[in-house]
Structure 1
């Protein structure tokens, strides 16, 4: 028989089988459908990150926007984005202006500003949007037009947006107090401008020279807006500019928003990285769940497959039939799952926007590629699962197949047993040995992977593990003096394969829930403890708006009773290093601090070296960061600062408290020179009884506020957009696993209709059978919670050792009780309700109908 004829016959037989016993394929269909939905949503997120954007606002009139590259180039990987704006030399505008087709090239700079009104009220942009200042020539890029007055001509003149002037209650000729950071200055309003309502920002304009001075980099611009004639093709002009001017990147269309609004580019990178990591996890989980569901389906059809072998079906024909069934069911489920998958993508988008992780105007992109990719992955997973499950049924002899159909085989295959047995010590080594022996974040990654390895080991060794659990827990959970209790324990022992197939998804759910939730709580608790222990200052000065002017530190240091002031600027660095003879990179959160007086305000837990040497091109690294990049005190590392500036910095100290303060600590002057706004994030103040004097000094700076140490550290540990996103994605992941648990438990229980009928025919009452099922449900639930918890614990212990050198992870009792309650609420009704359904028919009808 040719391969094509075999495939046609297999498809025909598979379709007849599916039509004849639809109930047997419902579980596989549901697993594929929901898996397709989740994978489609992940793919939509990835496509959105790659293709979406935000329309330009102030650069709307520019045909092309010219900027510097915001990315660190990496071979064979996604280029990471710099956290701070990379600026262009102002002289580039003249080079762009000389390109054929350019009518005007306008260099634009931005600086964060606030208006201080009567009574010290601080006014930003209307509706809470940021207020940004620019040079007046940049008004042509929207364009803004004067509705009253004239452009600014002197250094103390300003043009306000009309809506901003109305909210501030000022008119042309009036004066306003403008602050950049915490430095106030009085400006006279020379004019009002209209440019249509901006939705993401508000604008004010000063002279070009004053704008560059306030930006902190007088010889650089944020971007260059190119004005061109109406007949000019923006794409062609952009190409001409890139060929003529070296070291620039051009933006056209909606991509102009990336150059204008730095957060848009950050959002794009965030969405891409999130979609890739979450999508990869979901692909693994979906394939495991779909394959496991089909394996259980094939296992329940042992009698049917044995009869097929007995009447002459060849192994190849059995495999072809099961493969065809898997294909038909998975294609149908994948196609139908794509529709709710698109809806889930919109839910992701709206939720991310609501928690501030994504701009609301960052449009969702829905195309065919994510849908097709999800379908292919689901079908491939189903085919693989069906093939693995059918191999034994297809290979055994007909006589042996009929024997196994009546009583499931007790022994596990040697390959399965060997792999499962090897995975357990490998997982324990990854969880415990790596964090002790291996420095850096590789120890955390290794410990995290151990939970997955143990879940796979549980799936492979399930019958053995469940047999042990039944022996240990069965008599304690079910009194053997009762008939139903005896039957529950005996049944669980005799049908350990079936019990394992039904219980594995529940174990996986408990393990992944515990690993995901408690790894986050362990990291969060370690960070909070380090911050609380490390802040020695009595007070912390924080900004009400964008940041604090660096000069404020010197002013506070002169206040009576103040013994030390440490300005802190937060940023991000990229460290490149060599590992296994290849170039690697790692992104680290960083801070810049002044070493003078640091011992009085901040304790980083120095392990070696001296933070007093933190000057010039030097750096201090956390223990984890130093271990990751292989650096020691006295050596040098290659850094990319926040704006991409390359620095080879000497490591002057290694410290412990990287989670609480950042893994990289730089000299303050070096760090702040390479930030977008050149403003401090906060200032730590050591003052014995100096609060009244501090408040009096800050009264001259309405955009600064004073907090005590406890309230500051509590605010730093509050919920963030990242934690909200993580919570949503974990909910989706665990929700899918919960569906898989219900699916397999219902499938396994309903398939026992013949067994329940036989028990009732030989004298067992309906209540006795239900009591037996309750006993089995107790064994399944308690075993799953116990094994799932034990599988998650090594990973949690390893993570705790790696990040804090303490083996006890942070496991909130209420959170663990919630996991246990969820396992019970998912498993118990699934088993009991499906058992009730399985006993609806009269026993004689069940046996006689076969």
Structure 2
């Protein structure tokens, strides 16, 4: 059976090619995702290993939080601990280190150096000029606060050199300094897109806003066991500080990066799953048709003594060969995808070092398991049906594969559909703390149910879609509809691949349109300020900017907003700190109880949802823990109706400062005098921002448009990824039509013999392709719109309050689906038209 199976693979290699391509594309995405995330993870592991000392002492935050710009202020280490640690036996040297986030370099062209989202870091540069982490390449170390050294990568990107004056944007004062040296970080200079500047220790303390250090680094004596030294240091320091070895500190530093990478990996793998899932329909269709075309051959094997098991094994061996070859090519293609992703990252400035791609054994194993398993599972059902062909069928001229009734399939599909609708309804009813998750599970059940019953749905759909065909193209049109109706299972399986892609496109389209509509409503309803100051990368900026704006002619008030996190009842909550005296100018707040004055004296304002969930009222006390461990009782001073721009908790700037929140702004909201000329005020405000390219001034409409642009950018990325599913669906249509041409060779020969022209034959196949593509697209868009509406309704309380269905956009996708049908039919139609009439008629 092995030889027969392998010969069949070689004999049908062209027919299996498109099926194999589906495996290749799916596995390529899986492998490429895993290879790329392994590569970037290894690059950052090496980066953090280079900067980690033998032992590092730091003060951990009271809890984990990803609020930018707040960690340094919450985790300083007293300078007097340096001497304590230096006295521990086994310590060769202990030094205080300062690292400040948010110090960004302005290049010679007036633009920011570095990658948006990557940190700008400042350090106290070592007086020796070089150490284990930095090497002075040219110039000298800074000797006073007016001098700075910068890393070589940033110098090249920013067009900067020694003796140049450079502007530096910091969370505190804006600095202009003279570059006195260029240094290299680590072995390669790779900072992953970040920038690094070095100051004197005194200047670094000023930028940090503290006389303490962010950490203390320890060089161990030669031969010293690091674990033992860590334990001795831990005994010598207070319990709120923690000592970590080199490897532990590297892991700690890399944890946030790896967490971000996990999101990227999940994002990529979701689309890989979609590609594999869609590809499984092509594989199922391919083997169903191949087995159907070989029914007499398989029956002959049964007549010669092959058992049902052996026939099944024969088909499964063919599937395994396709899976192995497809997985191998997919793994190689995955290297190309990972290389492309790496190139794209480097183009935007995120360097990953000089090491090659990292291919783990688990990645190779996953690629082969996915490719082979999906192929063999999809081929199993056709193989089982092939084994049921009776041996006597080999003696007949016409043999048909045994077909099961659609009744059982219809029952299973209806049950799955009903269960999906039930779960989806429970999500919409809000019976769970995570309704969106229930909606997602229900939507998946509905999608599977629709897929199962799609052969039944295909018949009325195809008849309706093909109704105009006879009037437009006469007999050719009637025959194309009849061909699509001939095998509902095949038509449904072919259309299902496209249906899944269009269902997801429809879902994201509805969600994006709803978010865009909701953003405008939120801003109109919640915001009173005429202008907003913000950093496009949502990096906090110096409060000096708000102070300058406050002094601008025509400005009535400036409301600063800072962000931090606290723990309440053991749960981490985001909290906004805001200017108490002007909150009413900037925001439309409807109070159910209390007023903005409730922010005074450690007061907190909460929205009505928070109050209801916790049964809090004005006058109640809320115990909170800040990032630096400070515990504080806040008094509820007011309850306001939900405002999506403010969140659920508000405190004053003074209260946040008591809790250790760093004085850096995320937003500044500007109100003008009643009689002010808005354009003139805007020009004066922009003049004050000329030296700070990071911060932008926007009016309400521009702010709304910027948020919408981010949504649309993400949507464009998602559409680009979903294009992979559409490409696989196109391969499915091509494959089905090509195999259908082979299956109908004799029929086509007869049609040509009685007068059908090649042009008419090509048109018949094209029309058949179009009706299948539009059937899948319509079904997918109907399901997708339903999912999108359900998600919007579920998330209405989370700020997505407006429902929008992008009708024009979805119609465009429907038209594109029709064009996909036309293009997919080109090669099969040309192949059919080239068949020799006499040879085709003689085919059995």
The TM-score by the shorter chain falls in which range? 0.7 to 0.9
Q: Distance in 1 between matches of 2:228 and 2:764?
A: 76
Q: Deviations over 1:341-374 (max 9, x none)?
A: 1110111222244457x55549653334312211
**Residue number in structure 1 paired with 2:702:** 711
Report the counterpart of residue 490 of structure 2 in structure 1.
Answer: 498
- Give distance in 1, aligned partners of 2:611 and 2:392: 63
Mark the CA change 1:762 to 1:133 in structure 2 (over 3 Å): closer, same or farther.
closer
- Cα deviation, residue 503, structure 1: 1.6
Correspondences of 1:78-227 after superposition (within 5 Å): 84-85=70-71, 87-90=75-78, 93-94=82-83, 96-111=85-100, 112-113=102-103, 132-135=121-124, 141=131, 142=133, 157-161=145-149, 180-181=170-171, 183=173, 192-193=180-181, 195-196=183-184, 200-208=194-202, 211-219=204-212, 221-227=213-219
Correspondences of 1:649-798 after superposition (within 5 Å): 653=639, 656=642, 658=644, 668-669=653-654, 678-688=663-673, 689-690=675-676, 702-703=691-692, 706-719=697-710, 726=718, 728-761=720-753, 764-798=756-790
Distance 1:203 1:622 in 2: 46
SS at match of 1:795: helix
| Distance in 1 (alpha carbons) for counterparts of 2:831 and 2:159 | 67
**Deviation per residue, 1:769-819 (Å, 9 max, x gap):** 334323323321321221111110111111222334788744445643442
Q: Separation in 2 of the partners of 1:304 and 1:146?
A: 72
In 1, Cα distance between equivalents of 2:491 and 2:715: 36
**What's the RMSD between the two structures over aligned residues?**
5.0
> Which stretches in structure 2 are left out of the alignment for 5+ residues?
none
Structure 1 residues 803 and 664: alpha-carbon distance in aligned structure 2, compared to 1, 3 A threshold: farther
The 1:712–1:405 alpha-carbon spacing in structure 2 relative to 1, beyond 3 Å, is: same
Residue from 823, 828, 833 that aligns with 1:834: 828
User: Which of 266, 269, 280 does residue 279 from structure 1 map onto?
Assistant: 269
**Aligned: 1:370 with 2:363:** yes
Shift of 1:398: 6.0
Residue aligned with 1:492, SS:
helix
Aligned-pair distance for 1:708? 3.2
Measure, in 2, the Cα distance between the counterparts of 1:449 and 1:45.
29
Cα contact 1:566–1:594 (8 A) shared by 2: yes
Counterparts of residues 322-361 of structure 1 (less than 5 Å): 322-355=315-348, 358-359=350-351, 361=353
Deviates more, 1:771-780 or 1:597-606: 597-606
Count, aligned residues: 805
Q: CA deviation at 1:31?
A: 1.5
Structure 1 unaligned regions, length at least 5: 1-8, 74-79, 578-584
Q: TM-score, normalised by structure 2?
A: 0.79
1:13 aligns with 2:4: yes
1:304 to 294, 297, 308: 294
Alignment of 1:449-848 (within 5 A): 449-479=441-471, 482-542=474-534, 547-550=540-543, 562-570=555-563, 591-603=576-588, 613=598, 616=602, 618=604, 620=606, 634=617, 653=639, 656=642, 658=644, 668-669=653-654, 678-688=663-673, 689-690=675-676, 702-703=691-692, 706-719=697-710, 726=718, 728-761=720-753, 764-804=756-796, 809-812=803-806, 815-848=809-842
Is the contact made by 1:498 and 1:748 (CA closer than 8 Å) also made in structure 2? no
Partners of 1:650 and 1:755 in 2: CA distance: 84
1:270 counterpart residue number: 260
Moved more, 389-398 or 334-343: 389-398
Per-residue CA distance 1:254-290 (angstroms, 9 max, x = gap): 975974xxxx754432222221243144235404523
Q: Map Cα deviations across residues 665-711 of structure 1 (whole Å, 9 max, x no partner).
A: 56545667789864102211222245667876897785476543333
Shift of residue 182, structure 1, vs aligned partner: 6.1
Pairing partner for 1:42 from 18, 22, 33: 33
Q: 1:238 to 1:426 in 2, by over 3 A?
A: same
Q: Which moved more, 1:430-439 or 1:322-331?
A: 430-439
Cα distance change on mapping 1:552 and 1:346 into 2, 3 Å: closer
Cα separation, 2, equivalents of 1:33 and 1:317: 28
- Secondary structure at the counterpart of residue 248 of structure 1: strand
